[in-house]
Amino acid sequence: MAEIWCVASGKGGVGKTFAATGLGISLAKLRKKVLLVDFDISGANLHTVLGLRDFKNSILDGLNSSATGKDMIMSSGFSNLDFIPGFIVPQLGQELCTFKVDALLQQLQTLKYDVIIFDLGPGAQKANFSLMNYADRNFVITNCEPTSIEKTYSFIEQYIATEGRTKTLHILVNFCRSQQHQTLGKSFESVLFKKHDVNIRFSAGIRFDNAVWQSTFMTSSNMQNVFALMPYSEVCHDFYKICKQLIDPSELRAVS
Ligand SMILES: Nc1ncnc2c1ncn2[C@@H]1O[C@H](COP(=O)(O)OP(=O)(O)O)[C@@H](O)[C@H]1O
Ligand SMILES: [Mg+2]
C-alpha cells in the first residue's frame, strides 16, 4: 500500500504546492515511486510548477466519470515521479464526494506507488479535511508572519474540532530567514501538544531561497523550477533532509 501524504495550510500562498513538489522530487531521488495529485479545488496550478501543459484528463475526470488512474497519470519529467493534474477550471466551493474519492484511491493503490502526495487548496474547507483523513501523514505549512501563524493555528484547531482525530500532523515553517524562524515550529508543537491529545510534530523550517524565483525566470524551457534548474540550492537540500529523516530517521540520528 502506498503511504498517503497531504500538504495543507490555513492560508494561501505559503508554499503548499512548492512543498508538495519538493517532497515528491526528494522522495523520488531517494528511489521511492511517487505520485503527485493536484487536489486544490480552489484552482489547480501544480502542473505549472512542473512545467506541464497539454493534459487530456484531470482528477475531476477520475471523480466524475469512468477515467481510470492510468488515463489521468502523466510523467512529471522527473524520474520516479508521476502526476495527476487538478481541475483546469476552478470549481470554487465544490464538495468532494467521499465515496468517489474512496473508489479513485482504491484504483490508485493498485498502481504500486510508495507514496501518493495530495497538494490541497488553502483553508479550513470540508473538502480539505476529508482528504486529510485519508493521509498517513499530514503536513501543515505556514510562513513566519503573524497572519499566517494565526491562520495555521485556527486551521489545526478547526481540523481537530471537526474531525476529532488525526494521524501525525507535521508542521513545516516555510520562508525562514533567521534562526529564530527556524525554531518557530517548536512553539506550535508544544502549545498544540499540551492542548490536544494528537500527534503534532514540528518537522522542519524551510529556508527562504532566492534560487526559487531566479529559476522561474532562468530559461524559456517549460521546466522552470528550482528542483530541476538549481537542485543543489539550500531549499532543495531542506526538502531532501526532511524526506530522508522521515524515511530513515535512524540514519540521520547516527550522523548528528
Ligand atoms: N522557501 C521558499 N523560498 C522562496 N520562494 C518560495 C519558497 N516557498 C515557496 N516559494 C514561492 O512562494 C510562492 C507561493 O508558493 P505556492 O507553493 O504557490 O503556495 P500555495 O500552494 O500555498 O498557494 C511561489 O511563487 C513559490 O515559488
Ligand atoms: Mg497551491
- How would DSSP label each residue in 98-144? HHHHHHHHHHHGGG--SEEEEEEPSSS-HHHHHHHTT-SEEEEEE-S
Domain ranges (residues) in the chain: 3-255
pLDDT at 255: 47
Higher per-residue pLDDT: 214 or 250? 214
Which atom of ligand 1 lies closest to the CA of 209?
Answer: 3
Q: Tell me which residue of 101, 86, 79, 186 sits closest to 142, measured CA to CA.
A: 186
pLDDT tens digits for range 31-84: 999 999 999 988 899 999 998 888 888 888 888 877 888 889 999 999 999 999
Q: Does residue 254 have a pLDDT over 70?
A: no
Judged by DSSP in three states, 153 sits in helix
User: If you write DSSP's letter for every residue of 53-77 in order, what string do you get?
Assistant: ---S--HHHHHHSS--HHHH-EE-S
- Average pLDDT over every residue of 122-136: 92
68 torsion bin: left (phi>0), alpha (psi -120 to 50), beta (else): beta
Predicted pLDDT of residue 89? 63
Question: What pairing do the DSSP bridges indicate for beta strands 81-84 and 74-75?
Answer: antiparallel
Q: Please give the single-letter amino acid code of residue 246.
A: L
Pocket test residue of 16, 45, 155, 212 for ligand 1, highest count of atoms within 8 A of CB = 212
Give residue 12 CA to ligand 2 midpoint distance, Å.
7
The pLDDT-based confidence of 96 (bands split at 50, 70, 90) is confident
All cell numbers assigned to 204? 522542519
Relative to the alpha carbon of 44, which ligand is closest? 2
- Atom 8 in ligand 1: residue holding the nearest Cα: 15
Going by the DSSP 8-state scheme, the letter that residue 230 receives in this structure is: -
Answer yes or no: are the C-beta atoms of 109 and 101 closer than 8 Å. Answer: no
Res 256 pLDDT > 60: no
Pocket of ligand 1 (CB under 6 A): 9, 12-18, 174-175, 206, 208-209, 212, 235
Measured distance CA(136)–CA(124) in Å, rounded: 19
Q: Cell for 251?
A: 540514519
Query: Could you tell me the sign of the dihedral formed by the alpha carbons of 89, 91, 96, 97, in that order?
Result: negative
Region 3-255: CATH code = 3.40.50.300
Tell me which DSSP letter residue 96 carries: P
Residue bearing the bigger pLDDT, 7 or 193: 7
For the chain, give the mean pLDDT: 88
Ligand lying nearest the CA atom of residue 139: 1
Kind and range of the H or E element at 159?
A: helix 146-163
Q: Which residue has the cell 498502481?
A: 111
Ligand nearest to the CA of residue 43, numbered in listed order: 2
Ligand 1 binding pocket mutation candidate from 7, 9, 18, 226 (most atoms within 8 A of CB): 18
pLDDT score at 216: 85
User: Closest ligand 1 atom to the C-alpha of 235?
Assistant: 1
User: What pTM does this model have?
Assistant: 0.94
